[in-house]
Structure 1
Amino acid sequence: MTDLETRLREVSLAEPPLGFDPDEVADRAARRGRRRSAVTVLAVLGALLFLVPAKQPVSPAAGPVPPSLAEQSRIRVALGEAVARALPGVHDLTLGRASADSIGPERMSVTAEFVDAQGRPGNFQLTVRGARAGSQVVPIERLCTSAGPESHCVRLPQPGGAVLVLSELVYKDENGVPVRDGVNGFLYRPDGSTVIVTGGLGYPLTEEQLTRVITDPAFVLP
């Protein structure tokens, strides 16, 4: 080995300056990686919150309510017209004030007093119930189950699937002659709504007259 080679091996060459601190660069890279991970996690959570629908408050179902004054007035007027058609020549027709209350929701009643063409006074009450008030009415299965000599009860199918029940008491007068007293009508519609006509004092409606009144299509509640 020559002296030149020996000198070259003994020379210690200094590394050129890098211009930055490698440890600081590594720290910055680590911090940047942590920030990117945090941003990614927040973005994913935000997307999930956007996709999951928020629970909407559930409002309680509205229950049956009494008929409005407008509905009561409409049915009251319709009753007067129905009586005039069913009893030609009727006069002195007086309609009572329609009644409805929160105890019997979807229900209203009104009375009618009249004098027929022969001068006989009579009266009856009309009650209209909506479909959700059907539980307030005697089930049709319990009507006309024991018709006999002291009662008269018939079921009459109506167009559209309704059933009309006509019921009245039968008694004998002092001469033994059968007398029918106070025909009552019960109209059961397929949707559960009902119309009831109950006789009062004085001249009672005949079955034909009652049928014409009770089946009037105006007697419905929304």
Structure 2
Amino acid sequence: MKDNQLIDDLRGIGGAEPPLGFDPDRVADTAAKLHKRRRALTGVSLGVAVAVAATAFSVSLVLPGDAEEDIGMAAAPTSWPTVTVAPRQSDMPSPNVDLSKQMERLKAELPEIIEQAKPGAQLKVGRIDQYQPNNWDHVSIGVGFVGPSGEQNYNLGIFGKAMKYQGGFNLNEKCAVLVYPPVNGKPRTEEPGPGTRCQKFPRKDGSTVVVEEQIVTLNGSIGASGVPEGEKLKMLTVSHFRTDGTLVQLLGTIGVPMGVPQALTDNEAVRIVTNPGLNLN
């Protein structure tokens, strides 16, 4: 499974409950179609996993983000580096872990984590799920923000090492033109679309934050409630590649029309994904 396929799944399971002013099934379907239009599915699927014994315990580390590492606004570069994508040789088995205690802790602590990043935010916490089948080391939480520009939904995902590898999340492949191995002798490349903002921000602890905002256009085959055909939408993704090999990612589940601000600034989103309380320990 490559990260784009997994992202489609996450957009579908991460909708906040109760619905934030629209049909969540249609939101998930629209988001998946939007993403598939701009990225072809690649990689291998999740296979039957070999169970690996693991002990789950809950550790709370709700701490405020480091204001000294605020990033400002991610930029749209004038050119993109080229990265050759190496084929993965094998799947990683699921660790088959029970994350029920961690999910209880995360749902209880999330309002405080969001308050530290965006004081006074009107937050709605939705579903919290562990990626199935085979109990992967991944938790997804649906979060919604209410503001003057309306209601916006995000998926907050915490990826353990196995799910990060299996999903194909690779820091080197971010903010770049990707060159894939030829298929039937034909080369294939994938590059960020016009207007894309994407920037990597190294942090003092050796980790890296990536802020991405892609622009997509609705056509006759896809649509969202209240969004006309031809509307351009902004799709925000903020990822924290951590030094322990895990990943925390905030993913917009439906696009925001041009001219409408994101519910979170880049800095606020970064403060969320870098909070040490977002972990699977």
TM range (shorter): 0.5 to 0.7
C-alpha deviation, 1:119, in angstroms: 6.0
Look up the match of 2:268: 209
Give the TM-score taking structure 2 as reference length.
0.49
Q: Say whether residues 1:126 and 2:156 are aligned partners.
A: yes
Aligned partners of 1:113 and 1:80: how far apart in 2? 11
Look up the match of 1:110: 141
**Which of residues 210, 218, 223 is equivalent to 1:165?**
210
| Equivalent pair of 1:99/1:108 in contact (CA under 8 Å) | yes
**Which of residues 194, 218, 222 is equivalent to 2:277?**
218
| Equivalent pair of 1:109/1:126 in contact (CA under 8 Å) | yes
Question: Which amino acid in structure 2 is aligned with residue 196 of structure 1?
Answer: Q
CA displacement, residues 146-202 of structure 1 (integer Å, 9 cap, x when unaligned): 467421110011232111111011479xxxxxx871320111112211111101345
Q: Say whether residues 1:153 and 2:184 are aligned partners.
A: no
Aligned partners of 1:198 and 1:78: how far apart in 2? 19
C-alpha deviation, 1:67, in angstroms: 4.0
Look up the match of 2:95: 64
Q: Say whether residues 1:84 and 2:115 are aligned partners.
A: yes
Look up the match of 1:200: 253
Share of identical aligned residues, percent? Answer: 23
Aligned partners of 1:66 and 1:102: how far apart in 2? 11
Write out aligned runs for 1:184-199 (5 A). 184-199=237-252
Q: Secondary structure at the match of 2:169?
A: coil
Aligned partners of 2:99 and 2:194: how far apart in 1? 43
In the alignment, structure 1 segments of 5+ residues that lack a partner are: 1-59, 173-178
Question: Which amino acid in structure 2 is aligned with residue 215 of structure 1?
Answer: T
C-alpha deviation, 1:212, in angstroms: 1.0
| Equivalent pair of 1:153/1:165 in contact (CA under 8 Å) | yes
Give the TM-score taking structure 1 as reference length.
0.61
| Equivalent pair of 1:199/1:205 in contact (CA under 8 Å) | no
Aligned partners of 2:119 and 2:233: how far apart in 1? 22
Q: Secondary structure at the match of 1:159?
A: coil
The structure with the greater share of residues assigned to helix is 1
Query: Could you say if the C-alpha distance between residues 219 and 112 of structure 1 is closer, same or farther in structure 2, counting changes exceeding 3 Å?
Result: same
C-alpha deviation, 1:213, in angstroms: 0.7
Query: Could you say if the C-alpha distance between residues 137 and 194 of structure 1 is closer, same or farther in structure 2, counting changes exceeding 3 Å?
Result: farther
Task: Flag the structure with more relative contact order, 1 or 2, with Cα contacts below 8 A and sequence separation at least 6.
Answer: 2
| Equivalent pair of 2:216/2:235 in contact (CA under 8 Å) | no
Question: Which amino acid in structure 2 is aligned with residue 210 of structure 1?
Answer: A
In the alignment, structure 2 segments of 5+ residues that lack a partner are: 1-50, 54-93, 178-191, 218-231, 257-261
Query: Could you say if the C-alpha distance between residues 104 and 163 of structure 1 is closer, same or farther in structure 2, counting changes exceeding 3 Å?
Result: farther
Give me the CA root mean square deviation: 2.5
Look up the match of 1:7: none
| Equivalent pair of 2:175/2:199 in contact (CA under 8 Å) | yes
Count of equivalent residues: 155
